[in-house]
Structure 1
Amino acid sequence: MKKFFLGFCFLVLGFLSFAQFKADKIKWTADGSSMYEKESNSITKMNLKTGAQTVLVPADALKVNGKTISIADFEVSNNDQLVLIFVNTARVWRYNTKGDYWYYHIPTKRLQQIGKDRPAQSLLYAKVSPDGELAAYVSENNIYVEELASGKSKALTSTNNTKKLINGTFDWVYEEEFGCRDGFRWSSDSKSIAYWQVDANQIKDYYMLNTTDGNYSQVIPVEYPKVGEQPSPVKIGVVTVKTGETKWMNIPGDPANNYLPRLEWSGANELIVQQLNRKQNESKLYFCNTTTGEAKQFYAETDKAWIDIKSRWNDDDPRGWEFMEKGKSFLWVSEKDGWRHIYKVTREGKETLLTIGNYDIATISAVDETKNELYFIASPDNPIQRYLYKVKMDGKSKAVRVTPAGYDGTNSYECSPTGSFAVHSFTSRFVSPATQFLNLATHKPVAGEELLKTMKPVKKDNLEFFTITTEDGVTMDGWMSKPKNYDPSKKYPVLLYVYSEPAATTVEDDFYAGGNFLFGGDMNAQGYFYVSFNSRGTPTLKGAEWRKSIYKQIGRINIRDQAMGMKKLLADRPYLDASRVAVWGWSGGGSTTLHLMFQYPDLFQTGISIAAVGNQLFYDNIYQERYMGLPQENKDDFIKGSPITYAKNLKGNLLYIHGTGDDNVHYSNAEVLVNELIKHGKLFQFMPYPNRTHSISEGQGTFQHLSKLYTAYLKEKCPPGAK
């Protein structure tokens, strides 16, 4: 369950000709000296050493029958011969991952559509083979391969006449909770493709209802495994391009009670695969022989709570494998010693701790094997900030901070494949986001002045960052934005912004801290205090114990932390009006809002809850079971952690908002909670948005209406200004 509105440049095996599409990511050349860019619908290559720019695909080359093909995304082959162009895109759940593909052959200036015999806007994850002769893509849950020279194509997989057998991509829950979308990989010799097959036939459909796009309602089924339901069985096969025959990997364990979230080629006839058990507290790594299908386990890890996968510690992108030493070892992240650390693991399973010390890494940034150095993001002294560090990969050295003094806040780095160059992004509570191209070794800009000299901090006297310790001895990071020129002898209303679940934090040192995107106008100017806390269980850099203390406790310890934080704040700051305390949140934050209104009705008088999980038993199995266990074993924890259990305690003002077309947090959450409130005679305001998804963003005027509703309700029920 992701918070709404929310870099490792890993080494890949050298035989890959195309990287997979990564929207909004820098597109580096293989040697890391240049980058590809889209400019006015042309594709260019810029040399970072010289600044020279070369046009690879001119805009006028992308015309078909007098109409221009508009580039949504693109990839360039390592030899600068072929460009794969993604156009006419459409959304699959959260992201625009399907559409049409064209390729442009630079030497001959030939433009050709791929998959033109397939339905329009149906292709996903097209990739050219390493030898440049073939393209593979997914269409309607099958993998196709096409000869670029002739345009001839054929299917390599079959759905067996059922749409619930998914080849080369994933079902809803794998995409949402594991970040898995692109589900196939070319072999180095271009002769075979490794792929996932998801069998969702046993997964029950959740039926959404479209009631506005016609005279009759339309039923929209989504295969969605609720918590307590077995996962979709998933297996991995290798299909031979020439024959279309698939060899399945014999990975031990029941496919209906295990997950396979990662897969890559690790050799000419070998795959490396990660397997998680259903509870996600046991991880195993296998080498799979693609000729025999034999799977050999060589590494394993267990945890009392859960094990995070790569999509959590590498920018929500599980693709790739961080191989080193020509495939003899790779990087791995684990919290086994209580901190999120980076290890080097050999093919024999021998591990070496590389980031020594009592601190968490956030993400891996780059590897410089020539200098035996590893770059990563961390912040040992302040969990709400981020800096670049490097360490020798000898298992003995201490990390050294690379980000220079002066960049106090949140720093991120997107690095070239060789670690020579990087795009450095910086923001802080006082500085709006800015970027610069760097020579990574010197941390000096490639051209122009250093970012530090050009930044213009914005004065924010009304924004305060602080820590607060509750009566339970829990110390949380927080921020507060205040009315300008407020009178401390008077009383002012306070609004708490919450999320509080393991998917995201609300307190980070960035420019948008203290801002409220949904409020129409300036909250502080109208006389509100606005505050937020990072409670236990949020993924801040305070150690595994902090993050995993919420295991089987969602809806309890995180809720108490938020409530006790507000209680302490009211006690410490007499200018906060205890009779005008409001709270709001979206998704997991919507659930937190309901909990606070129901469990602490004397503390919070007004709440605005958006897209909330009302009953934990209604959410998906991967997310909820990861953090709560299996309801077959500890169902009482799910009940005690669900807002619906406490709805009878509502005393204050509640505005409850949900999209009827929400495929993530289903609308049924809203209806069962509404029924419970009705049952107990509770008065509240309810706003369903027809056919809107989890983001409630579709349809003309939707955001403006939501903002107006939110603002009006808050001002009516929790009046602004001093008293």
Structure 2
Amino acid sequence: MKKITLLVALLAVSCFTVFAQPGKKIKWSRDGRAILKAEPMGITAVPLSGAEPAVIVPSEKYTLRGAGKALEIRDFSFSADEKKLLLYTDAKKVWRYETRGNYWLLDLTTGKLQEIGKARAASSLMFAKLSPDGSKVAYVSDHNLYVEDLATGAAKALTTNGTRRFINGTFDWAYEEEFGCRDGFRWSPDGKSIAYWQIDATKIRDFLMINNTDSIYSFNVPVEYPVAGESPSACRIGVVDIATGNTRWMDVPGDQQQHYIPRMEWVPGKKQLIIQQLNRKQNQSKIMLCDATNGKVHTLYEEKDSAWIDVKSRWDDDNIAGWDFLRNGKEFIWVSEQDGWRHLYSISMETGKATLLTPGDYDVITISKIDEAGGQIWFTASPDNPVQEYLYRVPLTGGKATRITPADQPGSHEYSISPYSNWAVHSFSNACMYPVSENVELPAHKSSAEVAQALRQSVDGGKCLDYFEVQTADGISIGGWMRKPKNFDPNKKYPIVFYVYGEPAGATTRDVAGAGRNYLYDGDMAADGYIYASLDNRGTPLPKGRYWRKSIYRKVGVLNARDQAQAAQALMKKYAFIDPARTAVWGWSGGGSMTLNLMFQYPEIYKTGIAIAAVGNQLTYDNIYQERYMGLPEENREDFIKGSPVTYAQNLQGNLLYIHGTGDDNVHYQNAEMLLNELIRYNKQIQFMAYPNRTHSISEGDGTFTHLSTLYTKYLREHCEPGGK
């Protein structure tokens, strides 16, 4: 149900917020002055100073004897002493990302190249990691955890009970999709044991997708998928001794099927784990310390929220792994909204006391770097404009934040900061310019000539979009953008097309490259005479404070649709050049749901809708997402019904195009058929397109995107006539 991010959508059809995956993160040299990349000529160090790149591991070193070319590297990592190089190749998808493949180990001292997991099936290894001393490698294959001695090549199964529905060292569908959890094991600091997750999905019902296209006889594709109202997979944490193969389970309190453990790491230098436990409603978070030698557990820090508590991927670059320890593990950095804003806190490992580090009426968006040696934390925020993002820093002891991003660069900024915080890879864009990437020294942040040039060449001098705010009838200030037609004449009336999402998983109005551009439209909307617009309602994850984000709790499909509809009315009242008779709306996934709710609940406003891969019935969607934002159906089922488009299908008056992939493992195709049944019941005529065996992104198969774009464009032009009148 995640959104299609505007920038990603320009490049390829996607359907969810991007999570960390192999090869995505920047790899830094040990001195922090160069970026390491896998190039055709070998592993290369690219200095941030602009000096010539240097090949540090020639590709000949990992070319198999008799092979015509080197291994094609998908990802790589060095041992701590940089004497060994672990290579990841032949990657295959596991639902979203290419997290299984083959691994090779190159000994840089001897030149020996060996395949890891030779006895396992091809491309079946996941998340291989070298031990702290570089003598062993551990990995997951076919839902079991293995360790391999690099000197002898002997592999040992640390678990043997793994199946598709009993999972060791990785996760089930829901944990992966909603928490970003994929890599499910951690080497101990001394390399003598491994902590890992075990997920028991045997009590979870399979959702059976039907594949009608890959054989003459159709067959089922099962997915362990707990829907809203169903208990999640049972989860527990074990520590396996490498020498004996025995696992000690941590005595985490509570029913294993009524809580989640989305985070687990080793405490530095100790035989102790630190975990985060969320209750099933995800409104109570406990940080627990687990003694790895005896399994005893005690709670260090606890937090509650009347709505929900976000996990680390929300504020740490979509990365669920890692723990931000300080002072050799005596404290750690945490993020909380307990004072009404998303702020950084220091938590004592001894007492659990939380100390606020970033006071003020603003939200921390992401943590960019915690620099203990330099005594500072680098993070992004935008106190004055919620659709933009800038780099700030604050002392580790807390205090007033200082902006680092230059004031003459309005827009959205991302930073990957080097290990010593002296350099950063800086990416910058706004709605009127394409992304620019540069290397900057910190804290001076002297930008390159390319950035200055890009700013000078901004579309229409930075006026390609109109950003605005309108006041709704409920007194809520709603912001958005509008792209006007070319050769705009304010005395004419133009059709308006709203792009919507409106749920807590994403915002559509950020000032980034791609805003105002409709990648599905085959042509130029502005040239054809359309106004293109988007609004962000309450509940979207803009940095506007806790109330803004969490006022949608138990009101998804109701409050967000009301905000959108009232804001659209206010916009049309404000601007006489908008033609109320030609008002269209479209969205994908959660945006598809919003489109349906707007068409059904506010038919007097929206005349044409295009909904793609929509959740028509909230009770069909996975429990982690839906229960986080809506509560438990057994307690407030009526809220799920009120927020579901199927409840209002009988009210359709306008033109509707509905599109869904029959192989969608995320928002199941059953949503389409449930919706169609309601429309049939009330003789509501629509145009419907099913894409056989396509997933949530509707991107598979020859010609798919061209067909989808053509369908979308043709329908919009026919039912929402372009041009000024």
Instruction: Calculate the TM-score normalised by the size of structure 2.
Output: 0.95
Q: Distance in 2 between matches of 1:699 and 1:70?
A: 24
**Residue matched to 1:590:** 592
- C-alpha distance 451-629 of structure 1, shift in aligned 2 (>3 A): same
Letter in 2 for 1:287: L
Within a 5 Å distance, the mapping from 1:146-295 to structure 2 comes to 146-159=148-161, 162-266=163-267, 267-295=269-297
Closer, same or farther: CA 358–301 of 1 in aligned 2, 3 Å: same
State the partner residue of 1:459. 459
Which letter does structure 2 place at the counterpart of 1:60?
Answer: E
For 1:409, the equivalent position in structure 2 comes to 411
- Note closer, same or farther for the CA distance 1:199–1:664 as it changes in structure 2 (3 Å cut): same
After superposition, the C-alpha distances for 1:556-584 in whole angstroms (9 at most, x for unaligned) are: 01001111111111111111111110000
Change (3 A) 1:661 1:311: same
Amino acid of the structure 1 residue aligned with 2:373: T
Q: Would you say the 8 A contact 1:74–1:86 is kept in 2?
A: yes
2:90 is aligned to: 88
1:435-450 equivalences in 2 (<5 Å): 435-444=437-446, 449=449
Aligned equivalent of 1:11: none
Q: Secondary structure, in 3 states, of the residue corresponding to 2:458? A: coil
> Gapped runs of 5+ residues in structure 1?
7-19
Partner of 1:57: 57
Q: What does the per-residue CA deviation read over 1:13-33, in whole Å, with 9 as the maximum and x for residues that have no partner?
A: xxxxxxx97422210134423
Which secondary structure state, in structure 2, belongs to the residue aligned with residue 166 of structure 1? strand
Aligned to 1:16: none
Instruction: Please give the per-residue CA displacement for 1:116-156, whole angstroms capped at 9, x wherever unaligned.
Output: 11011111101111111111110000011111122211110
Look up the match of 1:712: 714
User: Cα offset for 1:55?
Assistant: 2.1
What residue number does 1:322 align with?
324
CA–CA separation in structure 1 for the residues paired with 2:457 and 2:352: 48
What is the CA-CA distance between 1:57 and the residue it aligns to?
2.2
| CA distance in 1: counterparts of 2:647 and 2:313, whole angstroms | 32
Contact 2:661–2:669 (CA under 8 A) maintained in structure 1: yes
* Equivalent position of 1:622 in the other structure: 624
- The answer to which of 455-464 and 486-495 deviates more is 455-464
Deviation of 1:48 (Å): 4.0
Check conservation: 1:429, 1:511, Cα contact below 8 A. yes
Aligned partner of residue 255 in structure 1, secondary structure: coil
| Counterpart-to-counterpart distance in 1, 2:153 and 2:575 | 71
Q: Distance in 1 between matches of 2:713 and 2:589?
A: 19
What residue in structure 1 maps to residue 664 of structure 2? 662
Candidates 552, 569, 579, aligned match of 1:567: 569
Which amino acid is 2:168 matched to?
N
Q: Aligned ranges for residues 491-640 of structure 1 at < 5 Å?
A: 491-640=493-642
Aligned partner of 2:690 in structure 1 is 688
**Is residue 2:354 matched to residue 1:354?**
no
Matches of 2:496 and 2:449, distance apart in 1: 42
Is the aligned partner of 1:363 residue 2:354?
no
Is 1:383 the counterpart of 2:380? The answer is no
Residues 506-515 or 299-308, more deviating: 506-515
User: Structure 2: how far apart are the matches of 1:303 and 1:417?
Assistant: 34
1:473 to 472, 475, 478: 475
Does structure 1 retain, via aligned residues, the 8 Å contact 2:22–2:99? no
Q: Distance in 2 between matches of 1:666 and 1:41?
A: 44
Deviations 1:373-397 (A, max 9, x none): 11110000000010111111223x2
1:651 alignment counterpart:
653
- Are the aligned partners of 2:274 and 2:289 in contact in 1 as well (CA < 8 Å)? yes
Question: By how many angstroms is 1:455 displaced?
Answer: 4.4
CA deviations on 1:235-266 (whole Å, 9 max, x unpaired) are: 00001111111010001111110000000000
SS at match of 1:256: coil
Query: 1:668–1:463: structure 2 CA closer, same or farther, 3 Å change rule?
Result: same
Contact 1:276 1:282 in 2 (8 A): yes
1:4 CA displacement: 2.3
Q: Describe the superposition over 1:427-463 as per-residue Cα deviations: whole angstroms up to 9, x where unpaired.
A: 1122210111122232236xx6473356443223452
Worse overlay, 570-579 or 608-617: 570-579
Aligned-pair CA distance for 1:420: 2.3
Offset from partner CA, 1:196-227 (integer Å, 9 cap, x none): 00000000000011110111111110000000
Is the Cα–Cα contact under 8 Å of residues 305 and 548 in structure 1 kept in the other structure?
yes
Equivalent position amino acid for 1:40 in 2: P
In the TM superposition, what is the alpha-carbon distance from 1:689 to its structure 2 partner?
Answer: 0.4
Task: Tell me which residue corresponds to 1:32.
Answer: 32
Cα deviation, 1:10-62, whole Å, max 9, x if unaligned, reads xxxxxxxxxx9742221013442332112225112244468364423212333
CA distance in 1, matches of 2:47, 2:611: 49
| Bigger mean CA deviation after superposition, 48-57 or 655-664 | 48-57
Deviates more, 1:182-191 or 1:64-73: 64-73
Bigger mean CA deviation after superposition, 197-206 or 487-496: 487-496
- Deviation per residue, 1:458-503 (Å, 9 max, x gap): 2234521111111211111100111111222221110000000000
1:21/1:75 contact within 8 Å kept: no
Aligned AA (1:250): D
Helix, strand or coil for the counterpart of 1:144? Answer: strand
Go from structure 1 to structure 2 and tell me whether the alpha carbon gap of 1:515 and 1:454 turns closer, same or farther (over 3 Å shift).
closer
Aligned 8 A contact 1:342 1:354 in 2: yes
**1:142-193 per-position Cα deviation (integer Å, ceiling 9, x unaligned):** 0111111222111101226x43110000000000000000000011111110
Counting aligned pairs with the same residue, the percent is 55
> How many Å separate the matches in 2 of 1:45 and 1:134?
26
TM-score (normalised: structure 1): 0.96
**8 Å CA contact 1:552, 1:627 repeated in 2:** yes
Deviation (angstroms), 1:645: 0.1
Secondary structure (helix, strand or coil) at the match of 2:257 reads: helix
CA distance in 2, matches of 1:5, 1:585: 11
Q: Is 2:358 aligned against 1:374?
A: no
The answer as to whether partners of 1:75 and 1:83 remain within 8 angstroms in 2 is yes
Q: Secondary structure of 2:525's partner?
A: coil
Shift, 1:614, TM fit: 0.3
Are the aligned partners of 1:29 and 1:78 in contact in 2 as well (CA < 8 Å)? no
Aligned residue identity for 2:39: E
Larger deviation, residues 620-629 vs 463-472:
463-472
SS at match of 2:123: coil
Give the drift of 1:370: 2.7
8 A contact 2:432–2:464 mirrored in 1: no
Aligned to 1:15: none
Change in Cα spacing, 1:41 to 1:72, as seen in structure 2 (3 Å) is farther
Are the counterparts in 1 of residues 433 and 459 from structure 2 also a CA contact under 8 Å? no
- 1:384-399 map, 5 Å: 384-395=387-398, 397-399=399-401
Residue 326 of structure 1, CA deviation: 1.1
- Partner Cα separation in structure 2 for residue 495 and residue 53 of structure 1: 47
- In 1: Cα distance, 2:516 partner to 2:4 partner: 16
Question: Partner amino acid for 2:378?
Answer: Y
Q: How much does 1:362 deviate?
A: 0.1
Q: CA deviation at 1:104?
A: 1.4
Task: Determine helix, strand or coil for the equivalent of 1:644.
Answer: helix
Amino acid at match of 1:196: W
Structure 1 residues 550 and 454 mapped into 2: Cα distance closer, same or farther (>3 Å)? closer
Q: 1:120 aligns with which of 119, 122, 128?
A: 122
Residue 340 of structure 1 corresponds to 342
Please give the per-residue CA displacement for 1:486-522, whole angstroms capped at 9, x wherever unaligned. 2222211100000000000000111211000000010
